[in-house]
Amino acid sequence: MGQQLLGGLRVLELARVLAGPWIGQTLADLGADVVKVESPSGDETRGWGPPFADDGAAAYFHACNRGKRSLTLDFADPDDRALARQLASQADVVVENFKLGGLVKHGLDYASVAATNPGVVYASITGFGQDGPLAPRAGYDFIIQAMGGIMDLTGEPDGEPQKPGVAHADLFTGLYGTIGVLAALQARAQTGKGQWIDLALFDTQLAALANQATNHLIGGVVPRRMGNAHPNIVPYQVFEASDGPLVIACGNDGQFARLCEELGLTLHRDPRLMRNRDRLQHRDEVAGAISARTAGMTRAAVLVAMERAGVPAGPINTVAEAFAEPQAVARGMVETAGASRSPRLPLRFSDANTLPSGPPPRLGEHDAAIRAALASGDGWPERH
């Protein structure tokens, strides 16, 4: 089975919904012991259904909480606050997404925790960060997508701005947050000192604009919606076959020449179209010529032709079709743990176990065991 890469790592998750729990789940998949603290009413995503799993929790909750333990605490109760502080004092990592300064009154902010646990790696997730004029404002993924530029880039040129089909800012923040936690743990191994990681959804959304950001920052252009076309590459978009759409992603001039040869086109011999930088100026002409060919072919025939030419192409699948792809089946991309079925961690190691240690926990499932261990003075409760 291989080693547990983060075996022995203790993570206290004071987070709910998606970005923070995504960090917790990723660390849990890598072997960390994650205790998820929930209010007596639970993480609200437990009710974000249908659909619901057999354990009664919404599929949304199952998407980001596998492999954890659940402890319910009421922060209005002094004894429960003390239990939370006890856990924080022994944690290697604390992940929280309370509003700015929201944990100070509970003695669970970074300064308070680090006073008794100087080696703690403490990740704070907010909408806009710990400083700046918008720092006090609550941040929701949809609002951040709107403010952070991604919606203005998504959709048809003559249509309204669109959000991606998943919580773009939350997920990227969860991934950047995981990277930050692992980097801080590496630094702690060398110095013995912990870190406070300030994660803002807004910062993350700006960073995740990638080449669209540098197109603006370097080139001075303001990128706009282009539907499924690419701002820097032609042809790189959706084309219609006789029985449905597919994507052709032609990444260099050599691929373009082979595409043309395979489809019986002569575009690659036109001096105006030989180089990608020139094709950008004749986007409609190139796309129109290719579309005229693919429209008379089945999707399967186009895909076979592109495979033969060594040009990247693929069908536009539904979610169901994506998981039914032979490649997804061969790679075991669906993980089953108890009542939960979800995509597996997309990391493969030569000698490590990344299977989930269990399904998402029922609300308060581990209350008795964790409270008993803390009351006995044994310290961080061992997982059994």
- The phi and psi torsions of 229 (rounded to 5 degrees) equal -80, 160
Residue 120 CB-density burial (10 A; 0-12 exposed, 13-18 middle, 19+ buried) = buried
- The strand ranges marked E within 43-120 are 68-72, 93-96
Q: Is 109 a catalytic residue?
A: no
First and final CA of the chain: distance in angstroms? 18
Rg of the chain over Cα atoms, rounded to whole angstroms, equals 25
Sheet holding 33-38, edge to edge: 68-72, 33-38, 10-14, 93-96, 121-126, 195-200
Using CA atoms of 24, 25, 26, 27 in order, give the dihedral in degrees to the nearest 10.
Answer: 50
Residue in the block written with tokens 């950008």: 280
Catalytic annotation, pick one of 29, 170, 198, 284: 170
The Cα–Cα gap between 333 and 276 comes to 36
Q: Nearest to residue 256, comparing CAs of 270, 237, 235?
A: 235
Q: Contact, 201 vs 127, CB < 8 A?
A: yes
Query: H/E element holding 26?
Result: helix 19-29
Name the residue among 249, 255, 296, 256 with its Cα closest to residue 273.
Answer: 256
Just list the catalytic residues. 170
